Structure 1
Amino acid sequence: MKSYATGTLTLIAIVAVLGGALWLNAFKSRQNIVPISTLPRLITIEAQHPVRRDFVQRLRWFGQVETKSIVRINPLVDGRITSIEAQDGAHVRKGDVLFTLGGPRVAHEEALLSQRVLALESQVSRAETIVKTRLRAVAEKMVKREDLLTAQEHLDQLKCELSASKQRLAALKHALFVRSPMDGIFTNRRVHVGQEVDRGVHLADVISTGLRITARLFPPPGVSLVGKRVEVYGASGVETSGTVQRVMPERSPGGATVVWIEGDEIDDLLRPGEGVSGWIVLKTRKGVLSVPEDAVVHDEQDKAYVFVKNVKGYQKKAVEIGLEQGGWIEIVSGISIEDQVVVRGAYELFYRDFSKAYKVAD
Structure 2
Amino acid sequence: MKRIIKRSLKWLIIVALVAGAGYILYTKVFKSDEAAVPEMEPLPPITFPVTEETISTSIQVKGKSQYQEETLVYAPFASKVTSWKAENGVQVKKGDVLFTLDQSTLRNEIATVEATARKAQLESELNDFIAMQDEEAAPAGATEAERLKALAAQETAKLSEELNQVNADIQARELADKKAKLQAAVVHAPATGIFLADKSSELPQNVTDNQYIGKIVDLNKLEFIAQVGEQDIFKIKQGMKVQVKMSAIKDLQLVGEVTEVAKFANTASAENSASSVPQFEIVISLQPNEHLIGGLSLTGDIETLRKDKAVVVSSMAVMHEGDAAYVMVDRGDGQIERQDVEVGIETSEKTEIVTGLKAGDTVVLQ
Classify the TM-score, shorter chain: 0.5 to 0.7
CA 133–102 in structure 1, closer or farther in 2 if over 3 Å, else same? farther
Structure 2 stretches lacking a partner, 5+ long: 1-12, 135-149
3-state SS in 1 of match to 2:187: strand
Bigger drift between 95-104 and 147-156 goes to 147-156
Write the distance in 1 (CA, Å) between the matches of 2:226 and 2:56: 20
3-state SS in 2 of match to 1:263: strand
3-state SS in 2 of match to 1:118: helix
Distance apart, 1:167 and its partner CA: 1.9
3-state SS in 1 of match to 2:106: helix
Q: Residue deviations 1:157-182, cap 9 Å, x none?
A: 36524532432332332342334455
2:223 matched residue in structure 1: 212
Residue correspondence of structure 1 range 299-310 to structure 2 within 5 A: 304-308=325-329
The answer (yes or no) to whether the contact 2:344–2:352 under 8 Å persists in 1 is yes
Give the RMSD, CA atoms, in angstroms. 4.9
* Of 209, 219, 225, the match for 1:199: 209
Bigger drift between 288-297 and 182-191 goes to 182-191
Residue correspondence of structure 1 range 1-362 to structure 2 within 5 A: 32-33=34-35, 38-41=39-42, 43-44=44-45, 50-68=50-68, 73-92=73-92, 97-102=97-102, 104-120=104-120, 122=122, 153=162, 156-157=165-166, 160-180=169-189, 182-188=191-197, 190-191=202-203, 195-202=205-212, 204-209=213-218, 210-215=221-226, 220-221=231-232, 223-227=234-238, 228-234=240-246, 235-236=248-249, 237-244=251-258, 245-247=260-262, 249=266, 250=268, 259-266=281-288, 269-298=291-320, 304-308=325-329, 314-324=337-347, 327-333=349-355, 335-337=356-358, 341-344=361-364, 346-347=365-366
CA 332–105 in structure 1, closer or farther in 2 if over 3 Å, else same? same
Bigger drift between 287-296 and 316-325 goes to 316-325
Question: What TM-score results when the alignment is normalised by the length of structure 2?
Answer: 0.63
The answer (yes or no) to whether the contact 1:296–1:305 under 8 Å persists in 2 is yes
Distance apart, 1:26 and its partner CA: 7.2
CA 276–310 in structure 1, closer or farther in 2 if over 3 Å, else same? closer
CA 313–224 in structure 1, closer or farther in 2 if over 3 Å, else same? closer
Q: Residue deviations 1:34-70, cap 9 Å, x none?
A: 76x533237558686x432211212334443333476
User: In structure 2, what residue type is equivalent to 1:265?
Assistant: Q
Write the distance in 1 (CA, Å) between the matches of 2:124 and 2:186: 31
User: In structure 2, what residue type is equivalent to 1:242?
Assistant: G
State the percentage of identical aligned residues.
18
Count of residues in correspondence between the two structures: 316
3-state SS in 1 of match to 2:83: strand
The answer (yes or no) to whether the contact 1:95–1:179 under 8 Å persists in 2 is yes
1:6 matched residue in structure 2: none
Write the distance in 2 (CA, Å) between the matches of 1:114 and 1:298: 89
Write the distance in 2 (CA, Å) between the matches of 1:132 and 1:267: 79
